[in-house]
Amino acid sequence: MTSKLEQLRAMTTVVADTGDLDAIRQWQPRDATTNPSLLLKAVTSPAYQHLVNEAVQWSERQGGTTAEKLANATDYLAVLAGEQILGIIPGMVSTEVDARLSFDAEATKDKARKLSELYRQRGVDTSRVMIKIAATWEGIQAARELEAEGIACNLTLLFSFTQAQACAEAGVTLISPFVGRILDWHLASTGKDSIPAEEDPGVNSVRHIYEYYKAHGYNTVIMGASFRNQGEIEMLAGCDRLTISPALLEALDNDQNGLERCLSPDNVPQSQPYPPLDEKRFRWHLNQDAMATEKLADGIRRFAADQETLESHLSGALQAA
């Protein structure tokens, strides 16, 4: 019997939820996704120190104010890290827009264009790059325009069907529903220690999105993310993509039991399409979902805090340059 990881790869595109180059080399995923939290961990390791130095040197050559140099160094470091990852994997890498821009569509578009252009200047095939944006109303509308310009977008911090519907209607390339963080909220709100994988609210949220997308012909890719345990992954076997931490990749690789396919585009229930979302309906439905509202806000705050810590690390490098 092959491992559950190999069985999963036969039905789902496996993505590495890490910026660690050694882990990516070890697990050989098709794609990789990063965020400020993962990048922060990576840049404090010796393997990335030369990239930090290169980003700082490039930023110094661009000139400008201290704030502009810091922004340039941070953006360039993200691109250098993405380029390193693309040298290992055959597929795509996601590079995240500053979470502090989550409610500013124009600034989000400008940052996405800048990141894409930096990749192009580095000689990277930008068709292998996705720009990662928080799934706020402003982020989704920015992604709508970026997609029309040929910039593929990965909408992250997605906790509700409302966000998923808006993303599909905007024609975004990919969404990242956060399975584990949905579970976290329900455990905290109910006081339970655990919920069986087959009843996991994060798993059920992704299943609902998957069935709706497939029933109504949306091309947006669904990539389950933020897993807390192996059971969640197994219940979503067959999903378009799953981004998995190295620890859970190892657990799947060590498991020689059989793995059943749980999601298939050939076996989804028929349903009526929901009315299209405008801004008022989007905001109202999101407001009515306490879990999604709280976890979206919390996720943005956490990514913003990690972005600021990353900038603090680079600020010290810039001062020493």
Domain CATH number, residue 278: 3.20.20.70
How much is the average pLDDT of 227-250?
A: 97
The phi, psi pair for 263, rounded to 5°, reads -125, 135
Q: Is the full-model pTM beyond 0.75?
A: yes
Pairwise CA distance, residues 205 & 157, whole Å: 13
pLDDT score recorded for residue 34: 75
pLDDT score recorded for residue 20: 81
Selected residue with higher pLDDT from 18 and 111: 111
Evaluate whether 321 touches 120 at the Cβ level (below 8 Å): no
Catalytic residues: 132
Q: How many structural domains compose the chain?
A: 1
How much is the average pLDDT of 68-84?
A: 93
Residues of the chain with pLDDT > 90, as a percent, come to 86
How much is the average pLDDT of 55-69?
A: 94
Residue located via tokens 């502009």? 68
Cα(first)–Cα(last) distance of the chain, in Å?
55
Pairwise CA distance, residues 191 & 62, whole Å: 53
Residue 38: is its pLDDT beyond 80?
no
pLDDT in tens, 199-219: 999 999 999 999 999 999 999
pLDDT bin (cut points 50, 70, 90) of residue 40 is: confident
Pairwise CA distance, residues 148 & 271, whole Å: 28
pLDDT bin (cut points 50, 70, 90) of residue 43 is: confident
Pairwise CA distance, residues 172 & 305, whole Å: 26
Within a 10 A sphere around the Cβ of 153, how many other Cβ atoms?
A: 30
pLDDT in tens, 145-200: 999 999 999 999 999 999 999 999 999 999 999 999 999 999 999 999 999 989 99
Within a 10 A sphere around the Cβ of 194, how many other Cβ atoms?
A: 11
Strands (E) across 184-232 are located at 221-224
Domain that holds residue 9: 4-320
Pairwise CA distance, residues 170 & 162, whole Å: 12
